[in-house]
A and B are shown apart, each in its own frame.
Chain A
Amino acid sequence: MIDELLLTVLLTSVPLILAATGELVAEKSGVLNLGVEGMMLMGAVAAFGAALVSGSPYLGIISGGLAGIATAAVFALFTLGLATNQVATGLALTIFGTGLSGLIGAPLVGQAIEGLPEFHIAVLAQIPVLGAAFKLDIMAYGCILMVSLTAWFLASTRAGLILRSVGVNHDSAHALGYPVLVIRSLAVLFGGFMAGLGGAYLPLVLTPHWAEGMTAGRGWIALALVVFASWRPWRLVAGAILFGGVTIMQLAGQAKGWTIPPQFLSMLPYLATIFVLVFISSRGRNYFGAPAHLGRVFHPTR
């Protein structure tokens, strides 16, 4: 009973963790991409289409990631290549991704696929309650691997330090000779890749069908999570599980007949995000690791 609920919480968190990890890297480099929802949908439709046509959900994972990269490339071209406003372009990317995925996906509506199989890790899956964490699929395990790599990359590698420096002050990084736009482009493409995988997780694991707008706002939750986690990868995992946990708790609470209004519980994660935002602004952005040049357009001086 409890382990089933725990498993549901973990599964619900995976797409959020994937998409938010990508956005975290993009934001650390100083680019705010509000198009996560659009990139997720593109990933979802590509993953479903590829899995349906080829019969292999693994091919679905790859095409989901690639579709995310392709969508992010559009964003990079505009915001970095043509120096457009990031907020406006990000919103446009969400509209673009929602519309295009609906168009591409129109013939896919009403179809169903097998989805990814579960891999139970021997012995560990037998542990009561916590064993749920070892009854997942390859993408969920891969998701934890990606978070580990991202945390390590940002904190302990030279390349990670350069990426962060671009986000903190692009003019200084430029003066030091770092290719600001190239670094940011790569970060944005990585963000697209992860958002695409996050989107792909929906039709490949959670609900093996395609329907227009099936992410139903999860891209926006991923964006909120990055702030909630104050730009730290492991806090992001904790935040996603908390978000997922509250969602499942309010559903389970209704089934168990608790008297807490479900609307109140649905509201909690967003309330928590607002509190974190207030807290961050009261202590100063840098204290919590917010990149100082987040969302600023970079004009090379020479």
Chain B
Amino acid sequence: MKKLFTKLALAGAMLGLSLSAAQADPLKVGFVYLTNPGDHGWTYAHEVGRQELQAHFGDKVETSYVENVPEGPDAARVIRELAAQGNKVIFTTSFGYMDPTIRVAKEYPNVHFDHITGYKRSANVATGNIRFYEGRYVQGVVAGLTTKSNKIGYLGAFPIPEVIQGINSFARGLRSVNKDATIKVVWVNSWYDPVKESDAAKVLIAEGADVLAQHTDSPAMLQTAEKAGVKGFGQSSDMHKFAPNAQLFSSVNNWGPYYIEQVQKVMDGEWSTGEGPDHWAGNTWKGIGDDFLVLTEFKNMPADVAKAATAARDGIAKGSLNIFEGPMMDNQGNAILKSGEVLDDGGLWAMNYYVEGVEGKIPN
């Protein structure tokens, strides 16, 4: 059924493009979206970025997008279609578009592809990502100073490296201020299922958790927290409207600067993907320090907690605070890092353990 939508969307996009082709040649930039921008989460953040890109360059660029593109063989068809329509820069905005992007990029060597959150690169495929986990460290600090029960509830979508990174970063922040607090992780097995997210939140609250964090996309968890009188953190966009008394703060994904930077490079002829596949060169991975990740106002917490949160945020931004710096133990008591050692980017993507402070085991 999504095929039909894709076709309709493409037909619509083609119509729109052919109508405006009469103007002087703007640089065409295409986007592939996983869901639709109305999800108020992941795709919404990309749509905001696309609009910033359009506003920044005005009529020098012409952007378009295809929404609701399933990850898989269909994605390749949509990406190819965008390339065939003359888009010179194509952003594919979900992890699952990685292989299709690489495949289509071979067929269109003159098009600049940019895959979001992936790790495979080629001569004309760059990758971009946000250090989401940095915001989670600050969440951990706030949670550790806020909790009374010393039980933190954490909703995970799927046990993939990005989510594990987030949990571990949260735990590092938590344990930096509160040695007694622990994290209970519940996997929802979905990125987006408001009712199930709300159910999981209720279960965690029944288990005694008084601060909740989420790595799923809907505001359902915060609404549940608001009703139950506990605290929580928003995801991807500011959710204080849904939980005026419960949201401590939210980490907002800010893609605009990345899109502008990459398109500027294409215009200046400086766009590059580094040395080729599977290298860190050609990958942009920035966080709080570069405003790729923005934390909303610290609310619903005493001034001293907000102060500690600000200090952690600024420390990460300046680079004076390193989240994964030894000594670091996993939750089975094995040493991961010795004192003075620092986890590199490769190590971050290879996390298959929980650090101290997280209960249980990663499901396999």
Contact = CB atoms under 8 A, between A and B. Distances in A.
Interface of A: 1, 4-5, 8, 12, 15, 91, 94-95, 98-99, 102, 105-106, 109-112, 202, 206-209, 211-214, 216-218, 247-248, 251-252, 254-257, 261-263, 266
A213 to B, nearest CB: 8
B94 to A, nearest CB: 16
Contacts of A112: 219, 223, 241-242
Given A252-B203, A255-B207, A209 B363 contact: no
A209 B207 contact: no
A110 B196 contact: no
B64 to A, nearest CB: 18
Interface string B2-17: 0011000000000000
Given A12-B199, A262-B363, A4 B5 contact: no
B185 interface: yes
Given A8-B202, A94-B1, A209-B242, 15 more contacts: A4-B202, A4-B206, A8-B203, A98-B1, A109-B38, A109-B40, A110-B40, A112-B241, A202-B195, A206-B194, A207-B219, A211-B39, A214-B195, A216-B195, A251-B188
Contacts of A91: 1
* 5 A-B pairs closest in CB distance: A207-B220, A216-B193, A4-B206, A207-B194, A254-B186
B352 interface: no
Contacts, number: 115
B287 interface: no
Interface in B334-362: 359-360
Nearest to A255: B207
A155 B359 CA distance: 52
B1 A95 contact: yes
B241 A248 contact: no
Contacts of B187: 254, 262
8 contacts: A8-B203, A12-B195, A109-B39, A206-B194, A213-B192, A216-B195, A218-B195, A252-B206
Contacts of A263: 189, 363
Contacts of A252: 203, 206-207
Interface string B186-222: 1111101111111110111111000000000011100
Contacts of A261: 363
A95 B4 contact: yes
Contacts of A248: 199, 203
Interface in B17-36: 35-36
B153 interface: yes
Contact of A99 (B5, B39, B220): B5
A242 B66 CA distance: 40
B242 A251 contact: no
A251 B194 contact: no
B184 interface: yes
A247 B242 contact: no
A206 B38 contact: no
A8 B199 contact: yes
Contacts of A206: 194-195, 198, 220
Contact of B194 (A5, A211, A257, A266): A211
Nearest to B195: A206
Nearest to A106: B38
A202 B204 CA distance: 20
A247 B196 contact: yes
Interface string B38-74: 1110000000000000000000000000000000000
Contacts of B4: 95
Contacts of B219: 112, 207, 209
A208 B195 contact: no
A54 B186 CA distance: 37
B203 A255 contact: yes
A112 B204 CA distance: 23
Nearest to A1: B206
Given A4-B206, A216-B193, A251 B200 contact: yes
A247 B197 CA distance: 11
B194 A214 contact: yes
A15 B39 CA distance: 22
A252 B205 CA distance: 10
B216 to A, nearest CB: 11
Interface string B211-244: 0000000111001100000000000000001100
Contacts of A5: 202-203, 206
Given A207-B218, A255-B153, A255-B186, A212 B38 contact: yes
